[in-house]
Amino acid sequence: MEDVARIAKVSKPTVSRVLSGSPLVSAETRERVLAVAREQGYALNRHAQKLRRERANAIAVVLDFGSHRQGAIGDPFIFELLAGISEALSVRDLDLLLSPSGLETVEGFVDLYQSRGADGFIILGQGTRDALLQKVARRNIPMVVWGAVSEASTYCAVGSDNSLGGRLVDERFLAHERRRWLFVGDCQHEEIRLRFEGLQTAARARKDVEIDVLSIESMAFSAIHDQANAYLKARPERPDAVFAFSDTAAMAVIGAFAKEGHLTPRDYSLVGYNDIPPAAHFTPSITTIAQQTGVAGALLVEKLMQVLDGRRPRSAMLPTQLVTRQT
């Protein structure tokens, strides 16, 4: 930097100002410095900058690859979220640190934060570790979470209205006069539990509706398929309505049930979740609950920026919609 300064006949601070886009330099000087920097092949050292500025200019995005790898909650949908976040951060000139290791404990978060590895965190999906997240939030670490939105939460969360999603299905099944319902999903995940609760909204009060749960052990596609298959074999009365926690799971169910001659929509209604592209073109096409993934990423980032500004943004719930198709 000193070299550039000397050659451009200015001082170090001026070079710094030019290169970090400060408006406190005359246009003339700026040009000169820029020219010299370019011809000398000089680039600011980001770490020196981050050290001095005392901020990382980076956000850590935490993804539970372990469970998503097998098509977990998310299907392509987590990917969309990630794309949205990446874009929103990019606009603000913030780096995106993907799933740094060590974030399995509160100390992991504290350490990454204190060592200035990241200015804040975006966590995608509470999964089954909400307790951990609550603890992290209590340590005053800037964060926002994609997932279930709850009143009691210590942190700001953004998520789809899972309960509404469930209710929409509840209504649909009742309208179709279905009586033996099956919910497919792991209620240990808060988001999924809310969908299940939504499903019970009106049904709970009715004596003639019976809701069974097929609790998914593994998120793997074939595991779901096998479990669904086993379920049907073990039961004489078959469900006449199925609500699956994801479209992918819905596909697994269709396949497994079809093997036993139990066909949708002839024998049962089926609703999935996420509205992934193939759902529309599956045979039969899958009725599903769509989430607004498009805006989600941007919203998460915006909320986090507010947290970084010292504010306490409210959690937000994005609407969900029933997309009616053949099943």
- Contacts with DNA by CB under 7 A lie at 1, 9-14, 16-17, 19-20, 24-26, 28-29, 43-45, 48-49, 51-54
Residues 6+ apart with CB under 8 A from 258: none
The stretch among 2-10, 57-65, 129-137, 316-324 that binds a second copy (CB under 8 A) is 57-65
Nearer to a second copy, 54 or 208 (CB): 54
79 interacts with a second copy by CB under 8 A:
yes
Query: Is residue 95 within the footprint of a second copy (CB under 8 A)?
Result: yes
Which conformational region is residue 9 in: left (phi greater than 0), alpha (psi within -120 to 50 degrees), or beta?
Answer: left
Which candidate, 171, 146, 209, places its Cα nearest to that of 289?
A: 171
Considering the rule CB under 8 A, would residue 129 count as an interface residue with a second copy? no
Q: Is 114 in the site for a second copy (CB under 8 A)?
A: yes
Given 138, 176, 204, 258, the residue binding a second copy (CB under 8 A): 258
The option from a second copy, DNA, none interacting with 17 (CB < 5 to 8 A, set by class) reads DNA
Phi (first) and psi of residue 287, to 5 degrees: -70, 140
Residue 119 interacting partner from DNA, a second copy, none (CB closer than 5 to 8 Å by kind): none
In 92-214, which ranges are E strands?
95-98, 120-124, 143-146, 156-160, 180-184, 210-214
Q: What's the Cα-to-Cα distance from 192 to each of 151, 188, 293, rounded to whole Å?
A: 17, 8, 17
First to last CA, the chain: 66
Pick one of DNA, a second copy, none as the site partner of residue 226 (Cβ within 5 to 8 A by kind).
none
- Least distance in Å: CB of 26 to DNA? 4
Residue 223: its H or E element: helix 221-234
Question: Considering only residues 26, 261, 283, 309, which one is a binding residue for a second copy as defined by CB under 8 A?
Answer: 283
- Determine the Cα–Cα distance for residues 258 and 327; give it in Å rounded to an integer: 13
Task: Give the contact letters, 146-185, x = binds to a second copy (CB under 8 A), - = no.
Answer: ----------------------------------------
**Closest distance of CB 87 from DNA, Å:** 24
Beta-carbon contacts of 76 under 8 Å, excluding residues fewer than 6 positions away, are: 276, 277
Residue bearing tokens 């006949």: 9
Q: Which of 135, 92, 98 is nearest to 309 (CA)?
A: 92
Judged by CB under 8 A, which stretch of 8-16, 89-97, 152-160, 189-197 contacts a second copy?
Answer: 89-97
Length of the chain: 327
Beta bridge partners of 60: 97, 121
Our CB check for DNA shows the closer of 24 and 175 to be 24
Q: Tell me: does residue 96 bind a second copy (CB under 8 A).
A: yes
Q: Which two tokens stand for residue 190?
A: 């808060």
Q: How far is the CB of 51 from a second copy (least distance, A)?
A: 4
Identify what 299 binds: a second copy, DNA, none; CB under 5 to 8 Å per kind.
none
**Nearest CB to a second copy, comparing residues 63 and 199:** 63
Gyration radius of the chain's alpha carbons: 25
Enumerate binding residues for a second copy (CB under 8 A).
41, 43-48, 50-51, 56, 61, 63, 65, 68-69, 71, 75-76, 78-80, 82-83, 86-87, 90, 93, 95-101, 110-111, 114-117, 220-222, 225, 248, 251-252, 254-256, 258, 277-278, 280-283, 285
